[in-house]
Amino acid sequence: MEKERDLILIVDDHPTNIDLLVSTLTNDYRLGVSINGPRALDYVSRQKPDIILLDIMMPGMNGFEVCSRLKADPETRDIPIIFITAVDDASRKIKGFELGAVDYITKPFLAEEVRERVRTHLALKSMREQLADRNVNLELMVREKTIELEKMLEATISTITLMAETRDPYTSGHQQRVADLACAIAKHMGLPKNIMRTVELAGILHDIGKIRVPTSVMNRPGRLLEAEQELLKIHPEVGYKLLKRIPFTMPVADIVFQHHERMDGSGYPCGLKGDQILLEARIIAVADVTEAQSSYRPYRPALGIEVALEEISKNSGKFYDPQVVEACLTLFREGLFSFGEDSRIRDPGHIQ
């Protein structure tokens, strides 16, 4: 389909000027004519010209004011305006450019000059529009690719956790449940979505370092020997080393490294205290111990959620961040969260 010819609005109070401009442009363009400022604004409100030729000196509302109003309106600010002036006055030209005009035509007109300037500015306008369209397309492509990468990352993480849990069936589902609770805690604390997503990811992966602990130790019934416990303690560091290679945009590896640190410095591997421990790691710590205590382990039966809540409550401020503990207790006490079959938070706002 052939493109409709461009529409030019001529705004001038002198019939002679209008006639001259019309005869110069009528063969190539569709034309609109307004004989004063208010009529020009009215015209533009009804149909959008591709370019405006605007006289400066007009009775009532002058060209500068018409230009200012058009530039103030997001609907019309992109229409190129070429001022028409009788005198070659430098200060007036500067004011026009400051108001957003793209060019000047000085009277008396040379038909060829008018045609050239109009043609140039229409070409520029069309290029700007094409560029803007291309940018929109690029943004859409980037968004699609980001979603694709995110999905690939999630699939990779699921595979890694499945592999780890195959070795260690007793903690099967533990990481997912910790992730769900950590995410719910972050949400209840009013933390931004990116933090919720971070603790969710770190939760899913927090015990990944256990793949270096022999299965005989992992799955042995009864209390672990001291040497075995020491062996188990390497898992945050192993997890850190495995995960630091993945270019996450969030500090997932550091959070995994710190998830057994405790507020009073009694944790491992570094004995960090209070604020030295990342907030996300403090959240995982509470979610981890709550889930672990309430579930079955090879060396003991499930203790139940009440025992788990008692543990975090008793050690709030000592081992665990009090604000995180508070959020966790509220979630369970007010029935906002439970370790159900898939232990999803009972809230549509949960990050899927």
Residue 262 CB burial class (10 angstroms; 0-12, 13-18, ≥19): buried
Q: What is the 3-state secondary structure (H, E, C) of the chain?
A: CCCCCCEEEEECCCHHHHHHHHHHHCCCCEEEEECCHHHHHHHHHHCCCCEEEEECCCCCCCHHHHHHHHHHCCCCCCCCEEEEECCCCHHHHHHHHHCCCCEEEECCCCHHHHHHHHHHHHHHHHHHHHHHHHHHHHHHHHHHHHHHHHHHHHHHHHHHHHHHHHHCHHHCCHHHHHHHHHHHHHHHCCCCHHHHHHHHHHHHHCCHHHHHCCHHHHCCCCCCCHHHHHHHCCHHHHHHHHHCCCCCCCCHHHHHHHCCCCCECCCCCCCCEHHHCCHHHHHHHHHHHHHHHHCCECCECCCCHHHHHHHHHHCECCCECHHHHHHHHHHHHCCCCCCCCCCCCCCCCCCC
CB of 211 to Fe ion, least distance (A): 12
Stretch that binds Fe ion, among 112-120, 261-269, 280-288, 326-334 (CB under 5 A): 280-288
Q: Which is nearer to Fe ion, 25 or 324 (CB)?
A: 324
- Tell me the pairing of strands 51-55 and 81-85: parallel
CB of 161 to Fe ion, least distance (A): 12
Stretch that binds Fe ion, among 9-17, 152-160, 203-211, 299-307 (CB under 5 A): 203-211
Stretch that binds Fe ion, among 50-58, 75-83, 281-289, 302-310 (CB under 5 A): 281-289
CB of 195 to Fe ion, least distance (A): 19
CB of 135 to Fe ion, least distance (A): 45
Q: Which is nearer to Fe ion, 207 or 311 (CB)?
A: 207
Q: Is 165 in the site for Fe ion (CB under 5 A)?
A: no
Q: Which is nearer to Fe ion, 6 or 207 (CB)?
A: 207
CB of 175 to Fe ion, least distance (A): 7
Q: Which is nearer to Fe ion, 50 or 288 (CB)?
A: 288
CB of 345 to Fe ion, least distance (A): 19
Q: Are 291 and 332 in contact (CB under 8 A)?
A: no
Stretch that binds Fe ion, among 24-32, 91-99, 159-167, 283-291 (CB under 5 A): 283-291
Q: Give 119's strand partners.
A: none
Stretch that binds Fe ion, among 19-27, 55-63, 206-214, 243-251 (CB under 5 A): 206-214
Q: Which is nearer to Fe ion, 96 or 239 (CB)?
A: 239
Q: Is 200 in the site for Fe ion (CB under 5 A)?
A: no
CB of 308 to Fe ion, least distance (A): 13
CB of 156 to Fe ion, least distance (A): 20
Q: Is 288 in the site for Fe ion (CB under 5 A)?
A: yes
* Distance from C-alpha of 163 to C-alpha of 158, rounded to nearest angstrom: 9
CB of 324 to Fe ion, least distance (A): 15
Stretch that binds Fe ion, among 6-14, 197-205, 247-255, 284-292 (CB under 5 A): 284-292
Stretch that binds Fe ion, among 55-63, 139-147, 286-294, 336-344 (CB under 5 A): 286-294
Task: Please pick, from the candidates 55, 103, 207, 321, the single residue that binds Fe ion as defined by CB under 5 A.
Answer: 207
Candidates 30, 91, 29; CA nearest to 56 is: 91
Q: Tell me how many residues contact Fe ion (CB under 5 A).
A: 2
Q: Which is nearer to Fe ion, 174 or 187 (CB)?
A: 174
Give the footprint of Fe ion on this chain (CB under 5 A).
207, 288
